[in-house]
Amino acid sequence: MTREKGTYSVQAVIKAIDLLETLAEDGANPTVQVLANKLELSRNKVFRLLATLEEKGLVEKNEVSGSYCLGIQAFQMAQHILKSTSLIRLAHPVMEELARKLDEAIYITVMNNDEVLFLDMVDSLQQIKAVDMVGKRFPFFTNAAGKVLKSVTSIDLRGRGAKRRDIPNPLQLEKELDEIRQRGVAVDFGGLGEGICAVAVVIRDYAGKVVGALTLLAPSFRMLQDRLEQEVIPSMLQGAEELSMKFGYVKIPV
């Protein structure tokens, strides 16, 4: 016997998830009324949902402003989900080693459609740091992580697909991706924000398939050319090779 999709869906659960997604938006600290308007629910229903989620630690209320935000339990659940995946589990020790060695923030990033997603991070001990990017998405052509991931895949940069992606200069990007493919590393200054430098290298599995990228983010003033060429890039390439080996990848000598 088959049933249509959604037969067993519970509206209260769906609305609770919608509420959590709204609270997870950047800079969102809405009041009951704002949530009610956005979710098209009554204030009473939103209040009951918030009270239940607050009881479970998924939501916290600011008693002064009356606004709401995600609670500590929501972040703990997210971390458990992330760390349960093989990519995060295998990558974290390598990320920690690189973060200690270079004293800069190291991320694991993956491609999702045409966007690069920053999954997990090991932070540096530096007082001046780049902004935390965990959970954020960016068009692939705007940053080193996206470019290094796309450099090793087939992609139409000059056809109709390029127009849909709003790529500003497909010919220039095509040349840049070819250079990144040959070098094995992507570096950009300002792609993720003014004053931010990113360095990214790909991670492969046993079949040679790209599963993600190790990405370093640091204030641009610490990424001098000598340090990039002599310390940062060699260390990132070594870390990527070590992590790829954990996935069973064996580099065939040319």
CA distance 4 to 167: 39
> Could you tell me which residues come within 8 angstroms of residue 114 by beta carbon, excluding any fewer than 6 positions away?
139, 140, 165
Question: How confident is the model over 45-94, as pLDDT tens digits?
Answer: 999 999 999 998 889 998 888 899 888 888 767 765 654 467 778 888 99
Q: Is 68 in the same domain as 170?
A: no
Q: Within a domain: residue 5?
A: no
Highest mean pLDDT among 28-32, 37-41, 145-149, 202-206: 145-149
Q: Within a domain: residue 190?
A: yes
- Total of domains in the chain: 2
CATH number of the domain within which 27 lies: 1.10.10.10
CA distance 190 to 198: 8
**Tell me, what's the pLDDT at 208?**
87
Q: Is 53 in the same domain as 178?
A: no
CB 134 within 8 A of CB 107: yes
The CA-atom distances, in angstroms, between 30 and each of 21, 22, 77, 215, 241 are 12, 9, 22, 33, 45
List the single range of 3-7, 77-81, 206-210 with lowest mean pLDDT.
3-7
Q: Is 112 in a helix, a strand, or coil?
A: strand
Q: Within a domain: residue 28?
A: yes
Q: Is 184 in the same domain as 212?
A: yes
Q: How far is CA 149 from the centre of its chain?
A: 13
Q: Is 37 in the same domain as 109?
A: no
The two tokens of residue 236 are: 């990132």
Q: Is 133 in the same domain as 156?
A: yes
Q: Within a domain: residue 23?
A: yes
For residues 171-207, one letter each, b for 16 or more C-beta atoms within 10 angstroms of the residue's C-beta and e for the rest, the string is eebeebbeebbeebbbbbeebbeeebbbbbbbbbbee
Q: Is 166 in the same domain as 100?
A: yes
CATH number of the domain within which 105 lies: 3.30.450.40
